[in-house]
Structure formats: C-alpha cells, structure tokens
Amino acid sequence: MWNVETVMQELESLGKERIKKRYVSNGAHEPVFGVATGAMKPLTKEIKINQDLAEELYATGNYDAMYFAGVIADPNGMTEADYNRWMEDAYFFMISDYVVAVTLSEADIAQEVSDKWIQSGDELKMSAGWSCYCWLLGSQKDEKFAASKLSAMLDKVKIEIHDAPERTKASMNSFVYTVGISYMPLHEKAVETAAEIGLVEVKRGKKKPSILDAATSIQKELDRGKLGFKRRYVRC
C-alpha cells in the first residue's frame, strides 16, 4: 500500500497552515505541507523501517517528507557516503540537526562521521556533528564515550564558539549543556565551560537574535533533578 505517492498524499492531508508558517519562519521553503511530528506517528507504526522508501521521500525535497524519511530510515543501512549525500540536501538546520543528525545518532558510525563534520568548516555539517553528539550523549550510556575526547571537545567549544557560524554556535552551546546534564564524568567541567563562555548570541536573519546561556539552562535542569538524564528514544 505505501509508496512514495501514497505517503506524500497522506502527509499533504495532515498538513496545517499554521505549522507550515512556523516551519517556513525557521527556514523551510516550498515544497512543505506543515505536518506536526506527532501526527506522523500512526503512519510510522504502519510503515516501520523502510530504507528504500526513505530514500525516495528524502529525494522529493519536501520538508515534511524529508523529516518522515529520517523517521523510517535504517540508520545502520546507510553508509558514510549516504549520510554525506543527505547532508548535501539538508538546506537548513531543521533538516541537518533534526533529521540527518538524529538518524546518524542511531548508527554505529555516528561518532566517526560526526567528528569529520565538526572539522569540515561547513556551517550545517558542523552543526549536525555537534547535534549528533547531543543526541548520542542524551540517549547512550556514559561508557560509550571517551572522557578525554569529550573533554577536548569542551575545550574546542570554549575557544571557538563565539567566532563560529551562527547555527554552529547554537549546536556547540547545546553540546555544553548536554554534557553538563547527561554525561556524568564531565558534569563539573561542562558547568565550568558554560560559565566561561557566558552568553552566546545567535543571529537569525531578520528575526531578533537568540541569546543562549548554557550555564542557566544546566542549572534549571539540575533544579528539576535531571542530572544524568537519558532519553529512551531519539527518533519519533
């Protein structure tokens, strides 16, 4: 029953104008239907994992279809070349960070690919690389990571964040926050790093700049008893 045509028809029927406007305001461009991520769940349950269909949907260039492609993709069925190909078509952060990086975070090659993206010099690749680590740290056991490597990454953020491209700044800031909350071995260092980098201004085109404060965000989560938090699922 489900093929690229029928899925596109279903997604179009689920679209809402107000959600479409929100996506567009964040950088999405046509084609886009405006489907709430929660509205995709029944479709996800029916289709489950289908890499071939995911590839067809991603190739449409429709934002909602690209998002849904990430939900039904097989993370370990994709190679580094496949992830790089997806990144080439990720034209704004909601695709790079919430589709490609999220899918990559469930792949065995997640850290290897993310490390290369972080060093790439490309704004969205760097953003996706840092974001992928956020998804990883927020869902996997601390033993999966080398503390020395993450410590060096915190040092890198401290030195580079204020001069990084805008979207990369946001993901680097999220990395500090995520280490501070979800990776116990470096909690204290993340708190210190957040204090040292201070407020981070992220320009957003014609919108008012965002002011990010990792130190305050970490403290708020600590006050809520969230230290050591790990999410059960990364993808919807």
Tell me the pairing of strands 200-204 and 207-212. antiparallel
Q: What mean pLDDT is predicted for residues 191-211?
A: 94
Q: For position 108, what pLDDT does the model report?
A: 98
Residue 101 DSSP label: H
Q: For position 59, what pLDDT does the model report?
A: 98
- Which residues, listed in sequence order, are joined to residue 204 by a DSSP beta bridge? 207
Q: For position 164, what pLDDT does the model report?
A: 98
Q: List b or e across 98-118, with b for residues whose CB sees 16 or more CB atoms inside 10 angstroms.
A: bbbbbbbbbbeebbebbeebb
Looking at the chain, the whole-number percentage of residues with pLDDT higher than 70 is 100
Half-sphere exposure (Cβ direction) of 62: Cα atoms closer than 13 Å: 23
Token reading at 59: 């190739």
Residue 109 has pLDDT above 80, yes or no: yes
Does this model's pTM top 0.85? My answer is yes
Residue 76 has pLDDT above 70, yes or no: yes
Please name the helix (run of DSSP H) or strand (run of DSSP E) that holds residue 128, with its range, or none: helix 123-137
Q: What are phi and psi of 207, to 5 degrees?
A: -75, 165
Give which of 153, 155, 96 is closest to 122, Cα–Cα.
Answer: 96
Cβ neighbors of 84 (< 8 A, separation 6 or more) are: 113
Residue 230 has pLDDT above 80, yes or no: yes
Q: What mean pLDDT is predicted for residues 202-216?
A: 93
**236: confidence class by pLDDT, cuts 50, 70, 90:** low
